Structure 1
């Protein structure tokens, strides 16, 4: 983001690495603080003679969990999500600007177009992975804490909420795959490796 949107800034070179480490450490500290109350609400129970692990909290603590759950969604998802999307949109906007100087090569234009495509794909995958999960989780939180909601409705949104959880976990798998397929250097390295392996096997078989 800094290289695309602020290429002439001097602060990344003047203590930028130290600032990056401080920001990363601060983010992890905030995440640890936000997740700490989970250990307080986490519990197991007995249902139909089976031990179950409750997703958020025990049913009798739904009202107590609601403020924490909403704060966790707002601070742990909504704000970071908006920040990431704003950065992606700003990068795409700058890369899509018409170049105002002469001498731009075709290769440079192709790199810009490829970067824009990668931004769009990554932002789309990021949204598909996390939006359904947190949206259904928020609805489920509200239904759990509001009295008078039918059990069928709560159970339905509980199933939907659990069904969207794999999408959130899948993002960690999809990001490296997307990065691999959008970087020609890594694809070429893989082709060379496969060629060497097959050539070595062919020579071994011939001997």
Structure 2
């Protein structure tokens, strides 16, 4: 059976089949991109956490989901300095194997935690827009806390196998911290990775797309949020603000999925599949095809990391009181909305 070297970029076996990749670019691309994400993401997420924790008096369900999303991004960012050093030193891991397992676990656990909490935020907004009256009974801060606990439990359970698969190995005087697993466990890892990709990316992505499709259709209805009379005009203004926030959220979340998560998962799935097929039948997958898929996978890694910089923008642009909480300026002449519009502003 074919196996892979420490860089997971060279295919070899004991027979005549041998693939050598030239991927020195990753020793520049990954450290530089991760460093940028670390600096920018840490500043943005630290600001978001400060506003949520110290400047937000009333935690609505959306605040709870956003807090958990920001925590995922922050924990994810804290793993980057170790990976920056690792790749800058050309795959030479200076720490122990348990620490390698921990870093890989935190890296992927918080990546998928971000995906699931983005899905929760999208579902919450969907219920508020499409079922505004029922959302008063369906959505509450207590329920949001319970959902958040369930999401964390799901993420920890699904990512626990990473602690088993992640390994280190001494090769040519260097210690390698595998991004996937050791070569002899790759077949089992492929099955695990495929299941995780479906459950923690493909399904949430489908849910988000369906929710946003229904939300857009609802928001485009001519009479959405309009009522008669003075109170109706006031409620209509509140509904208009809610509509603007919903549109901003749709754009940012779709950008996160389409630009950050989708390319990463597509290229990773292709690379893993080609790598497996090459092991089973080397004549079926050429070295050039395998190398191209490996390069594409590594190029899209920074896109997945960049999501931690997009999520705080979601909070500051689409959050209800983010900017006012940050500046501590209270707006005067606030009009209390009624009816449908009131349910939107209080629950979203």
Runs of 4+ in 1 over 6 A off after TM superposition: 188-193
TM-score, normalised with respect to structure 2: 0.48
| Structure 2 Cα separation of the partners of residues 189 and 25 of structure 1 | 26
Structure 2 contact 166–181 (Cα < 8 Å) conserved: yes
Structure 2 contact 245–319 (Cα < 8 Å) conserved: no
Structure 2 contact 260–306 (Cα < 8 Å) conserved: yes
Structure 1, unmatched stretches of 5+, are 194-207
Structure 2 contact 316–322 (Cα < 8 Å) conserved: yes
Does residue 1:131 correspond to 2:262, yes or no?
A: yes
Does residue 1:160 correspond to 2:296, yes or no?
A: yes
| Structure 2 Cα separation of the partners of residues 37 and 65 of structure 1 | 9
Residues 46 and 65 of structure 1: CA distance in aligned 2, closer, same or farther (over 3 Å): same
What secondary structure does 1:45 align onto?
Answer: strand
Residues 28 and 182 of structure 1: CA distance in aligned 2, closer, same or farther (over 3 Å): closer
TM-score, normalised with respect to structure 1: 0.76
| Structure 2 Cα separation of the partners of residues 178 and 3 of structure 1 | 17
1:81 is displaced (CA, Å) by 1.3
1:155 is displaced (CA, Å) by 3.3
- Determine which structure has greater relative contact order: mean sequence separation of CA pairs < 8 Å that are 6+ residues apart, divided by chain length: 2
| Structure 2 Cα separation of the partners of residues 97 and 134 of structure 1 | 35
Structure 2, unmatched stretches of 5+, are 1-124, 330-348
Which residues of 2 match residues 13-24 of structure 1 at below 5 A?
A: 16-24=140-148
| Structure 2 Cα separation of the partners of residues 165 and 21 of structure 1 | 31
| Structure 2 Cα separation of the partners of residues 34 and 138 of structure 1 | 18
Q: CA-to-partner distance for each residue in 1:9-40, whole Å, 9 max, x for gaps?
A: 14236xx3333222221221111111011111
Structure 1 contact 128–167 (Cα < 8 Å) conserved: yes
Residues 34 and 58 of structure 1: CA distance in aligned 2, closer, same or farther (over 3 Å): same
